[in-house]
């Protein structure tokens, strides 16, 4: 695209090639020197592309500078923003940074409820819709549409899946150090369509400033330090070694007990032979001896069974000591449930989009009385199928939410353990939220979950459920 007016706002020493450079200081390459905290010295609707590379975080008033950017940009102009990601220790401690940038920063410069950004990147229980420009009960004078967001990660997180990266960003520091936004100016009064967004992405890719490409292709020093993920791997290796050693010791003990059982069985057989011999004069005495040996054998077999059970438990769980407690392995219930609940398992594996090749089925934590647990649910239909582990008579409350609105609520007393269904008054179509809460302190209820990782810290748990039509 030729003859476009491109502006590098706050360009400093490194003005982008082909851009008009504006800064508060006169550096080589700066075309206009101005106090940008007081405004941008350009005419209305005069700019086609605006670049803000590590400059917006230094402004005194982010709302004022965004109004100025909106004023000088044309309708459908593109804005590239490269900024420090807030949850990184250097960025947190930098007192030169006056503004914060994360997944929700530009939600406050639009009132449009819809967006092409993945809802999982900005989900908040009390802010379902994208646009938050009217959250202060004021009249928003500008409308800036977020086309895309891109994150630049530390080495330990680069190769994770998008879901794992998203969980890490929401929970940890020093996951990524920079964030890039592609924004589009909307002066029409009508929200952009999905076709508009596709076109914006195409134009943005064709005109991407070199600084963004350089950050994306930067050489990451993998020796620059490690994160908690590296520690988890080390802990996991040590725990595996300890578990293997304990299991080996228990199995050796089991072999010894089995040998003793065989010895006692042989003794009983010998006593049977003696009992049947004519040389025994006191039959009652022999009966008493057999009873003692039988009792000893039963006790020994009980010990052997306990050791077998201990072996199974140690293979299924990590020792819960210190910080290692939160990195236990989960036991897969699929083989346990398949004999009596095959139709339910078929529904989960075929219709639940969160069930993957390496997924396992586990029991959830106890549903709380003081709050609720919430799961994402996806499907089309008016009947929800799920699985409960509970004592009879437990009092349970369910709530279904879609698009930020409560669709239906239900409370009931649990009459059986296993598969349950909830028939809805109307169909749901797409993604919804299903919430559970017990209604008293005496009800103990757990759910069947899908777990897509074996380590608890970054595990992704989903409800083992599916939606059908009656």
Q: What is the mean pLDDT of residues 146-168?
A: 93
Q: What is the mean pLDDT of residues 37-64?
A: 96
8 Å CB contact between 422 and 396: no
The pLDDT of residue 204 is above 60:
yes
CATH classification (class only), 334-468: mainly beta
Tell which CATH architecture fits domain 6-216. Answer: 3-Layer(aba) Sandwich (3.40)
- pLDDT score recorded for residue 272: 73
Helices 228-276 and 283-316 pack at an angle, to 10 degrees, of: 170
- pLDDT score recorded for residue 325: 39
pLDDT digits (tens, 9 = 90+) for 217-251: 886 655 555 566 666 666 667 777 778 888 888 88
CB within 8 A of 255, min separation 6: which ones?
Answer: none
- What is the share, in percent, of the chain residues with pLDDT greater than 70? 82
The candidate with the shortest Cα–Cα distance to 429, out of 400, 449, 451, is: 400
Spatial distance between the Cα atoms of 270 and 257, rounded to a whole number of angstroms? 20
The model scores a pTM over 0.95: no
- pLDDT score recorded for residue 315: 44
- pLDDT score recorded for residue 323: 39
- pLDDT score recorded for residue 235: 63
pLDDT digits (tens, 9 = 90+) for 363-407: 999 998 888 899 999 999 999 999 999 988 999 999 999 998 999
How distant, in Å, are the alpha carbons of 395, 401, 443 from that of 413?
Answer: 5, 22, 10
pLDDT digits (tens, 9 = 90+) for 343-370: 899 999 999 998 988 889 999 999 988 8
How distant, in Å, are the alpha carbons of 222, 362, 422, 447 from that of 365?
Answer: 37, 10, 21, 8
Spatial distance between the Cα atoms of 311 and 303, rounded to a whole number of angstroms? 12
8 Å CB contact between 182 and 52: no
The pLDDT of residue 316 is above 50:
no
Mean pLDDT of the chain: 85
Q: What is the mean pLDDT of residues 155-173?
A: 91
Provide the pLDDT confidence category of residue 266 given band limits of 50, 70 and 90: confident
- pLDDT score recorded for residue 150: 96
- Give me Rg for the CA atoms of the chain: 33
Spatial distance between the Cα atoms of 13 and 224, rounded to a whole number of angstroms? 27
Provide the pLDDT confidence category of residue 286 given band limits of 50, 70 and 90: low
Largest CA-CA distance found in the chain, in angstroms, rounded: 123
How distant, in Å, are the alpha carbons of 145, 179, 181, 185, 188 from that of 112?
Answer: 8, 22, 17, 13, 13
DSSP 337: H
Q: What is the mean pLDDT of residues 415-428?
A: 93
pLDDT digits (tens, 9 = 90+) for 29-38: 999 999 999 9
């Amino acid at each position: 695209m030729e003859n476009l007016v491109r502006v590098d706002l706050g360009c400093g020493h490194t003005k982008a090639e082909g851009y008009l450079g504006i800064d508060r200081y006169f550096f080589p390459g700066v075309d206009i020197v101005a106090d940008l905290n007081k405004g941008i010295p350009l005419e209305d609707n005069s700019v086609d592309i605006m670049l803000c590379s590590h400059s917006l975080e230094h402004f005194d008033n982010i709302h004022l500078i965004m109004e100025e950017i909106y004023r000088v940009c044309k309708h459908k102009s593109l804005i590239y923003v490269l900024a420090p990601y807030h949850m990184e220790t250097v960025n947190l401690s930098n007192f030169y940074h006056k503004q914060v940038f994360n997944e929700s920063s530009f939600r406050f410069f639009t009132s449009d409820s819809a967006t092409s950004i993945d809802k999982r990147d900005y989900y908040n229980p009390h802010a379902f819709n994208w646009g938050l420009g009217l959250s202060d009960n004021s009249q928003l004078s500008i409308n800036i549409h977020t086309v895309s967001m891109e994150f630049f990660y530390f080495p330990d997180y680069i190769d994770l899946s998008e879901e794992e990266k998203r969980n890490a960003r929401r929970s940890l520091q020093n996951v990524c150090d920079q964030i890039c936004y592609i924004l589009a100016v909307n002066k029409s009064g009508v929200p952009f369509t999905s076709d508009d967004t596709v076109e914006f992405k195409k134009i943005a890719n064709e005109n991407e400033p070199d600084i963004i490409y350089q950050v994306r292709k930067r050489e990451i020093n993998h020796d620059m330090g490690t994160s908690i993920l590296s520690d988890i791997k080390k802990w996991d290796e040590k725990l595996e070694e300890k578990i293997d050693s304990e299991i080996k010791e228990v199995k050796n003990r089991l072999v010894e007990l089995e040998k003793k059982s065989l010895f006692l069985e042989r003794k009983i057989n010998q006593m049977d032979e003696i009992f049947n011999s004519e040389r025994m004069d006191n039959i009652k005495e022999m009966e008493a001896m057999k009873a003692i040996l039988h009792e000893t054998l039963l006790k020994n077999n009980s010990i052997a069974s306990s050791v077998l059970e201990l072996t199974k438990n140690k293979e299924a769980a990590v020792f819960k000591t210190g910080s290692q407690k939160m990195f236990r392995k989960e036991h897969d219930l699929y083989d346990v449930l398949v004999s009596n609940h095959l139709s339910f398992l078929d529904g989960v594996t075929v219709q639940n989009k969160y069930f993957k090749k390496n997924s396992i089925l586990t029991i959830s934590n106890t549903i709380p009385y003081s709050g609720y647990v919430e799961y994402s649910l996806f499907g089309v239909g008016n009947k929800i199928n799920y699985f409960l582990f509970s004592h009879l008579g437990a009092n349970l409350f369910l709530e279904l939410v879609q698009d930020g609105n409560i669709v239906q609520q239900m409370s009931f007393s649990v009459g059986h353990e296993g598969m349950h269904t909830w028939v809805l008054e109307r169909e749901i179509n797409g993604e919804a939220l299903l919430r559970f809460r017990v209604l008293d302190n005496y009800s103990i209820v757990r759910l069947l979950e899908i777990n897509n990782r074996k380590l608890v810290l970054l595990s992704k748990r989903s409800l083992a459920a599916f939606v059908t039509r009656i």
